[in-house]
C-alpha cells in the first residue's frame, strides 16, 4: 500500500515558497517546512484519502507557525505587523520600499494579510480553500485580501489614492 509520505515530496517546493512568505528568511522557512513534514509524518495515519493533501500539509504548517509565534511570546498575531517576522527589515525601512518592490512590501503586511495574499496570489488557492485552511469564513478572507492589496499599494505607491470604493 502506498505510503502518503511518499507524496509529500511533490508539495515541498510550494511549502518552501509559502514558508518564505511567512518568515522572510530562507533558513527559518526551511525549519518551518521541516517541522511541518515531521508532524505530517507522525500523523500520517490520520490522513484520509481521497483528500486534499496540499491543503492538509499547508494547514499543518500554518498551525505550527502560529504556535511558534505564540510560544515565542511575540505580539499577538491580530495586532498586525509582527516585528520578529520581518526578518532584517525593520519597519523604519518602510519608506525605502520603492515602487514595484512588491515582494519586499508583502513582508511589511500584517501577518493575517500576508497569509491570505500569499495563499491566494502566490499559491493560487481558491478562497474557499484558504478559508478552510485558516479556519475563518470566506468573508473574512475577502476582507483581509482587500486590505492586503490596499496596504500593498500604499507601501509601494505612497501617493496612491485611497478610499476609492463606491461599489458595494
Partner 1 sequence: MSGARESGQAVDKAMLHAYADGQLDAALRATVETWLAEHPEIAEDVQEWRAQNEALRAAFDPVLEQPIPARLAGLSERRGPGANPWRQAAAAIGLLVLGGVAGWLAPLDKPWSETAPGPSAFVADAAAAYRLYTVEVRHPVEVGGDQETHLVAWLSKRLGSKIAAPKLADFGFHLVGGRLLPGQSAGGQAIPAALLMYEDVTGKRVTCYVAGNVDNHETAFQFRQADGVSTFFWIDNGLGYAMSGEIERDKLLALAREVYRQLEL
Q: What are phi and psi of 3, to 5 degrees?
A: -90, 130
Q: Distance between CA 65 and CA 42 in Å, rounded?
A: 17
Determine if 47 is a binding residue for partner 1 (CB under 8 A).
no
Report in angstroms how near the CB of residue 123 gets to partner 1 at its nearest.
9
Determine if 126 is a binding residue for partner 1 (CB under 8 A).
yes
Cis peptide before 101 (omega within 30 of 0): no
Options 35, 53, 59, 147; binder of partner 1; rule CB under 8 A: 35
Stretch that binds partner 1, among 48-56, 73-81, 90-98, 141-149 (CB under 8 A): 141-149
CB atoms within 10 A of CB 144: 22
Determine if 54 is a binding residue for partner 1 (CB under 8 A).
no
Options 60, 71, 136, 154; binder of partner 1; rule CB under 8 A: 71
Task: Give every CB contact of residue 23 below 8 A, 6+ residues apart in sequence.
Answer: 29, 32, 65, 85, 87
Distance of CA 117 to the CA centre of its chain: 7
Burial class of 159 by CB neighbour count within 10 A (0 to 12, 13 to 18, 19+): exposed
Return residues touching partner 1 (CB under 8 A): 2-3, 5-10, 12-14, 16-17, 20-21, 25-28, 30-31, 33-35, 37-38, 41-42, 67-68, 71, 88, 100, 102-103, 106, 117-118, 120-122, 124, 126-127, 142, 145-146, 149, 152-153, 164-165, 167-168
Amino acid at each position: 500500500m502506498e505510503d502518503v509520505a511518499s507524496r509529500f515530496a511533490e508539495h515541498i517546493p510550494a511549502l518552501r515558497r509559502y514558508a518564505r512568505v511567512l518568515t522572510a528568511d530562507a533558513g527559518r522557512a526551511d525549519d518551518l517546512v521541516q517541522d511541518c513534514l515531521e508532524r505530517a509524518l507522525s500523523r500520517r495515519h490520520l490522513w484520509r484519502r481521497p483528500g486534499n493533501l496540499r491543503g492538509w500539509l499547508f494547514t499543518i504548517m500554518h498551525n505550527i507557525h502560529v504556535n511558534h509565534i505564540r510560544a515565542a511570546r511575540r505580539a499577538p498575531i491580530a495586532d498586525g505587523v509582527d516585528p520578529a517576522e520581518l526578518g532584517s527589515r525593520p519597519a523604519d525601512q518602510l519608506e525605502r520600499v520603492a515602487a514595484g518592490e512588491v515582494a519586499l512590501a508583502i513582508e511589511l503586511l500584517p501577518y493575517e494579510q500576508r497569509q491570505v495574499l500569499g495563499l491566494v496570489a502566490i499559491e493560487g488557492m481558491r478562497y474557499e480553500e484558504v478559508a478552510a485552511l485558516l479556519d475563518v469564513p470566506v468573508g473574512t478572507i475577502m476582507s483581509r485580501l482587500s486590505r492586503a492589496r490596499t496596504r500593498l499599494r500604499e507601501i509601494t505607491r505612497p501617493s496612491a489614492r485611497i478610499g476609492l470604493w463606491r461599489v458595494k
